[in-house]
Amino acid sequence: MSKMRTVDAIVAILEKENATEAFGLPGAAINPLYSAMRAHGGIRHTLARHVEGASHMAEGYTRAAPGNIGICVGTSGPAGTDMVTGLYSASADSIPILCITGQAPVAKLHKEDFQAVDIASIAEPVTKMAMTVLEPGQIPGAFQKAFYLMRSGRPGPVLLDLPVDVQQAEIEFDIDLYEPLEPSKPKASRAQAEKALDMLFAAEHPVIVAGGGIINANASDKLIELAELLSVPVIPTLMGWGTMPDDHPLMAGMVGIQISHRYANATFMESDFVMGIGNRWANRHTGSIDKYTEGRTFVHIDVDPTQIGRVFSPDLGIASDAGDALDALLEVARERSEKFSVPDYGVWAKECALRKSSMQRKTHFTETPIKPQRVYQEMNSAFGKDVTYVSTIGLSQIAGGQFMHVYGPRRWINAGQAGPLGWTCPAALGVVRGQPGKTVVALSGDYDFQFMIEELAVGAQFNLPYVHVVVNNSYLGLIRQAQRGFKMEQNVSLAFENINSPETQGYGVDHLKVVEGLGCKAIRVTDPEKLNEAFATAKSLAEEHQVPVVVEAILEKITNVSMGTELDNVTEFEDLAESGADAPTAISVMD
């Protein structure tokens, strides 16, 4: 054992826990930790422009690859409160990030010292643990427990608050004697798997609802194997999009009242059995529970026992890690397929595929100003299959989810439940850190883009290249559409005549000038026939200059996007595509 500062022990622990990617801002109350990071050199740090941005960068990094845990670092007071939105977003989507804040000295915590705030109490509802470490000797154990909790059960974020005097105190510590704790997760039993399959085989039209827990468990291949073995169609949730490639014959589309496919909703309404794996029955997926559950039997498998029955009571609930559950289901399914006669769901699968081929929404519009559907069609064409999309909320995200295609896990990075405006840009920067060398494409409406546009400078400074597609109609589009029910349009227009940029044509902010001022490249497109060329140019510029490149598509001001109140009551505003022409490339039915 040897004596060292607690912050030196912290850096050693972070390295041993394989959490070496940090995003944040230094400050007086966290400078001791920064001094340790500088001295040891094992932690790569990206300087954000806003602490909320740093927390979303940490989220993006975690979401980008298996095993990642992004770190967000900030000083005392407002740095911690700025992190709360990132903690909420991470907690809602089961994403482990570690937030570390500086704090006033222990003796002054009750004296309303400068920037002294009880951040642990503020963060407690949106974390798995929020702790102000009052004793230097607690530092190793606090970090050991933090990593254990982040990785155990339902993953999630942790905040550790470090008074400045605790950071500088010395403790006896030997990193060679520190061992990460083994995460704990529930595991489905053989009997549970047998019962779940008994219930599935009793059905005529079964579907599997694949949630984000499958991606967290890195079990997408197992899901595909099970679906193919049984010929059962798969419906991913928004967080599970990519568990099965969009062009797989058994990929039945996304169900919901907003981000959904016509064919998927139609398939779900014909189903009589639903096995949910690693999902939480989000309300924008289900619509009303009465309509969603009517006439169907449900099995719900989730790593968090308290999720089972939270929204509605399933016919069978199984607390299990998604990967372990799929292992058990596969073992039983293989045995029964080899030894016994099992139902053949091939005809049902073909019916689902036929809906998929014939119920596509139209995307090929040629009008000017550009219709948003055309933007997503050209994105599919220009970026192909080997791309990771990042988005958060708004009509841009809803329509993007309806029209874009995703071909693998962690290729759709989305703030699913919290949906904070401004999330997309910093999250995309974190994804670039987590997927180096990959094509990363962000999608924002103009309002989401303006919320944290300053973080583009981070991409320029640290050479984090990606393409950011901004669909600009100069409106808070989702809110405008929602206000139709109130017969009003109130405080939702972002348009004004920009005295410095007449070329923005009354759309207000000149995004190109702002983007270029932040050290990045930008392209504006007003002609739908030029979109594909612009995307190709943007990708090339990002690779050449190693900075973010923004493609701004000037849209028609008002486009209503398909959504509704029930799975069988979604209002469609455009025609169907001709002969499924806008579908993903391969939708042939499995033999």
The sign of the CA dihedral 123, 129, 131, 136 is negative
Q: Which helix (H) or strand (E) holds 456?
A: helix 456-461
pLDDT at 586: 39
Scanning the structure block, which residue is given the tokens 């874009």?
Answer: 404
The total number of residues written for the chain in this structure? 591
510 within domain boundaries: yes
Residues 331 and 439 in one domain: no
Residue pLDDT, tens place only, 162-178: 999 999 999 999 999 99
pLDDT at 577: 67
Residue 187 has pLDDT above 80, yes or no: yes
Residues 399 and 537 in one domain: yes
Question: Three-state SS string across 394-442, please?
Answer: CHHHHHHHHHCCCCCCCCEEECCCCCCCCCHHHHHHHHHHHCCCCCEEE
Residue 228 has pLDDT above 90, yes or no: yes
φ and ψ at residue 446, rounded to 5 degrees: -65, -30
Residue 575 has pLDDT above 90, yes or no: no
Peptide bond into 140 cis (omega under 30): no
| CA atoms of 290 and 304, how far apart (whole Å) | 24
365 within domain boundaries: no
Provide the number of structural domains found in the chain. 3
CATH number at residue 140: 3.40.50.970
Residues 278 and 327 in one domain: yes
Neighbours of 290 (CB within 10 A): 10
Q: Coil, strand, or helix at residue 467?
A: strand
Q: Is 36 exposed, middle or buried (0-12, 13-18, 19+ CB in 10 A)?
A: buried
Question: For residue 487, is it left (φ>0), alpha (ψ between -120 and 50) or beta?
Answer: left
Residue pLDDT, tens place only, 301-336: 999 999 999 999 999 999 999 999 999 999 999 999
Residue 9 has pLDDT above 60, yes or no: yes
Q: Which tokens go with 423?
A: 């999330």
Residue pLDDT, tens place only, 121-173: 999 999 999 999 999 999 999 999 999 999 999 999 999 999 999 999 999 99
Residues 540 and 415 in one domain: yes
Percent of the chain exceeding pLDDT 70 equals: 97
Q: Coil, strand, or helix at residue 160?
A: strand
CATH number at residue 313: 3.40.50.1220
Contacts of residue 365, Cβ cutoff 8 Å, sequence gap at least 6: 371, 373, 374, 528
Residues 226 and 338 in one domain: yes
Residues 245 and 329 in one domain: yes
The answer to whether 277 touches 322, Cβ cutoff 8 Å, is yes
529 within domain boundaries: yes
Scanning the structure block, which residue is given the tokens 């990042």?
Answer: 390
**Distances, alpha carbon 2 to alpha carbons 143, 199, 234, in Å:** 19, 59, 55
Q: Which helix (H) or strand (E) holds 334?
A: helix 322-339
The sign of the CA dihedral 329, 335, 338, 341 is negative
Residues 164 and 202 in one domain: no
Q: Helix 372-383 to helix 395-403 angle, to the nearest 10 degrees?
A: 50
Q: Which helix (H) or strand (E) holds 53?
A: helix 51-64
pLDDT at 591: 34
Per DSSP, 106 falls in state: G
Scanning the structure block, which residue is given the tokens 């997760």?
Answer: 185
Scanning the structure block, which residue is given the tokens 């254990």?
Answer: 148
Residues 83 and 223 in one domain: no
199 within domain boundaries: yes
Q: Which tokens go with 522?
A: 């930008």
φ and ψ at residue 400, rounded to 5 degrees: -60, -40
Last residue of a domain, one of 317, 336, 358: 358
Q: Coil, strand, or helix at residue 361?
A: strand
pLDDT at 585: 44
Q: Coil, strand, or helix at residue 97?
A: strand
φ and ψ at residue 98, rounded to 5 degrees: -110, 115
Q: Which tokens go with 448?
A: 């989401």
Last residue of a domain, one of 126, 149, 177: 177
Contacts of residue 529, Cβ cutoff 8 Å, sequence gap at least 6: 366
Scanning the structure block, which residue is given the tokens 């989730």?
Answer: 302
320 within domain boundaries: yes
Among candidate residues 129, 122, 401, the one with its CA nearest the CA of residue 240: 401
Residues 346 and 417 in one domain: no
Bridge-based pairing of strands 412-414 and 440-445 is unpaired
Q: Which tokens go with 119?
A: 């951040």
236 within domain boundaries: yes
| pLDDT confidence tier of residue 506, bands split at 50, 70 and 90 | confident
Please give the single-letter amino acid code of residue 419: G
The CA-based dihedral angle spanning residues 241, 245, 248, 250, taken in that order and rounded to the nearest 10 degrees? -30
Residue pLDDT, tens place only, 71-102: 999 999 999 999 999 999 999 999 999 999 99
For 179-209, letters b (16+ CB in 10 Å) and e give: eeeeeebbbbeeebbbbbbebbbebebbbbb
Residues 155 and 14 in one domain: yes
The answer to whether 19 touches 98, Cβ cutoff 8 Å, is yes
The answer to whether 321 touches 216, Cβ cutoff 8 Å, is no
pLDDT at 474: 79
Last residue of a domain, one of 334, 358, 382: 358
**Distances, alpha carbon 285 to alpha carbons 279, 309, 368, in Å:** 10, 16, 33
| CA atoms of 241 and 410, how far apart (whole Å) | 8
Contacts of residue 379, Cβ cutoff 8 Å, sequence gap at least 6: 404, 441, 443, 469, 535
- 392 CB-side CA count, 13 A: 28
How much is the pTM?
0.94
| CA atoms of 426 and 458, how far apart (whole Å) | 9
483 within domain boundaries: yes
Mean per-residue pLDDT for 574-590?
52
Among candidate residues 446, 492, 435, the one with its CA nearest the CA of residue 469: 446
DSSP string over 531-551 = HHHHHHHHHHHHHHH-S-EEE
Residue pLDDT, tens place only, 440-494: 999 999 989 999 999 999 999 999 999 999 999 877 767 777 778 888 877 777 7
568 within domain boundaries: no
Residues 103 and 204 in one domain: no
Residue span of the structural domain in which 283 resides: 190-358
Residues 171 and 220 in one domain: no
